[in-house]
Structure 1
């Protein structure tokens, strides 16, 4: 069997009502012909574990609920050790339409005028050609603040600073897989700022996403404001790390084997 170069990472915490539908959609897309799929079960207490096992998909199960970022980093480490060249991460709640996968995969391989491919492709909900996506007022406020932070720290405009739908080159997920290179809770605008500042190439494309059908979002209620403060604090750490300590400056220009 020919080894695949693309791994789809799906972190899941108590997504038993959604994961079956998502995996079925992936099967209908015939994604197994071009990609491997990995579920990272973040110590779910519902039927997530049994559903994934019954469908016979590879799964890594964490003994304790470590958080969204930690689940993603577990997937990155798996991708590094298994020799994948690309990763596409998508949430287990079904909000990310599977039709985005081939588009992001193609974009990861597309060279710019300088012959450079993207390191990170963000699937965005709020670009002109994106599908309509309902957002609560608290979240709109948070997103606006994050857009502003990215603009003033990097000089670049990102419309969807919290998207979990991302494609990563090997260089990007190799960097993320290392100790102290990735936020273990809320890897959102803070990680975008970090990667832009250290010269990884980050681009954004329109994406198709849907509102959560079942289950509870980790950003429900007033949680977005606590989450906002947590990310802003992380952004300050990123700025201190890059601007003051000069850590990893220009590492994005290196090849994967030198990171």
Structure 2
């Protein structure tokens, strides 16, 4: 495991879950290094391509999991590290180059200057350049109404992987986090526990390389599973 030493000037840890992202991971972390002063950690989620080799070759901060745990397992690993190191905020950022690093500061300022516990970078709160497929947008709309029904909250981009949380939520997520496809489920949990959630506009590009791990078949499984466990979590 290679990590940056925690810095007194960096209250933020950027967590980058990565599974088979050899085409984009180096550019993603180099962009973060160029545009932000904050610490980051790549969670290599049992990749079978050259992701780990690239991280080692370029001496980038990372934790390497021996097997693929899924996005939830990778993110919980990152939250556990953030909790142990005492970071004030933890931010999730995708490894595929879709997230604009210019929005990192916007997300941080939004949570620092408010009483919110999570701030989500949204593609749909206001009009952005992001399009997305009809199927993907339909799925996002489905989860918007699911959350409105079971959690009584309105989140226009509930599957966004661009989000930041404070120290209290870091501690919660370090102990309890869904195994895979966690984005919607954790919103139900936070709402149930009276944490405050906010969305702000962020830009999102198309995947800059590689392929998404979510196929149409997995997408259907994703919707069924997340619906089932979100309903259960709403009663916990």
TM-score bracket for the superposition, by shorter chain length: over 0.9
Match of 2:137 among 125, 140, 145: 140
Alignment counterpart, residue 44 of structure 1, candidates 16, 22, 47: 47
Runs of at least 5 residues in structure 1 that lack an aligned partner in the other structure: 112-116, 242-259
| Residue aligning to 1:79 | 82
1:18 maps to 2:24: yes
Q: CA RMSD in A?
A: 1.4
Structure 2 spans left out of the alignment, 5+ residues: 1-6
Distance of 1:39 and 1:213 partners within structure 2? 17
Report whether the alignment pairs 1:240 with 2:235: yes
User: Are residues 1:160 and 2:166 paired?
Assistant: no
What pairs with 1:124-135 in structure 2 (closer than 5 Å)?
A: 124-129=122-127, 131-135=128-132
Query: Counterpart in 2 of 1:121?
Result: 119
* Normalised TM-score (structure 2): 0.93
SS in 2 for 1:229: helix
Give me the whole-angstrom Cα distance separating, in 2, the residues matched to 1:212 and 1:45.
19
Partner of 1:65: 68
Which has the higher relative contact order, 1 or 2, with Cα contacts under 8 A spaced 6 or more apart? 2
Q: Distance in 1 between matches of 2:163 and 2:215?
A: 22
In structure 2, how many angstroms separate the alpha carbons of the residues matched to 1:145 and 1:28?
37
Give the secondary-structure state (helix, strand or coil) at the position aligned to 1:141. helix
Q: How many equivalent pairs are there?
A: 230
Secondary structure of residue in 2 paired with 1:74: helix
